[in-house]
Amino acid sequence: MATLKFTLTAVIVSVALVPAAGLAQFKNEGYLLDQNANIVTSANTGLCWRTGAWTPALAVAQCDPDLVKKAESKPAAKTPAAPAVAAAATSPAPKPKEAAVAKPAPQKIKFAADALFDFNKSVLKPKGKTMLDDLAASLKGATYEVILAIGHTDRIGSVQYNQKLSVKRAAAVKQYLVGNGIAANRIHAEGKGKSQPVTKPGDCKGSKSQALITCLQPDRRVDVEVTGTK
């Protein structure tokens, strides 16, 4: 196809310009346009005039049918696959694992045996019952794994005697708490005798006397350990 190249001024002077049919309002700066932005052609040859801004990318079928046909016949370029990192970026982030619920630590309440029982006895005193009433009230509404009632004695007396006394005192505490609505299968009672004293060997000296009994008072106790949640 013959292509005529003129300057814009020469084209306006030497040719009659008519709008290209079907291309109204098609603004393509690669071709000569009229005042309505229509591509214009020669009245004699029907050819279009390219401007200095023309490139093959601006070719249209009416003016350059061979170029347009050739471009359409080329296989479409494959779109490069998106990088793996892009896919990862658009993928929803994994939900964070729920933090493991920490197992509640046991709460230990120490009851002085002298407050719960008379010396060398395993029957609860009125004052001791009142103290356990308060404990039972504070435990209501809690979920337990286990409640441990552990009896301890001082070192006065034989191992066998103190073991039995510590077991009886722990059992008395358990029985009273069960009577106050605490499930029996959630309470375990045991005695440690004089195997786990609080006082140190050199703290309390002398033979059995009131002074020695008073000094060893911290050893005589019932520990109540509660593991659970409110």
- Report domain extents, the chain: 8-72, 107-229
* Amino acid letter for position 204: C
pLDDT in the model for residue 206: 84
Enumerate the β-bridge partners of residue 57.
Answer: none
Query: CATH for 107-229, among 3.90.1150.10, 3.40.50.1820, 3.40.50.2000, 3.30.1330.60?
Result: 3.30.1330.60
150 vs 167: CA distance, rounded Å: 8
pLDDT tens by residue, 185-218: 889 999 999 999 999 988 898 888 899 999 999 9
115 vs 128: CA distance, rounded Å: 6
- Asked if 25 and 38 count as a contact pair (C-beta separation under 8 A), the reply is yes
Whole-model pTM?
0.54
At 135, is the pLDDT very low, low, confident or very high (cuts 50, 70, 90)? Answer: confident
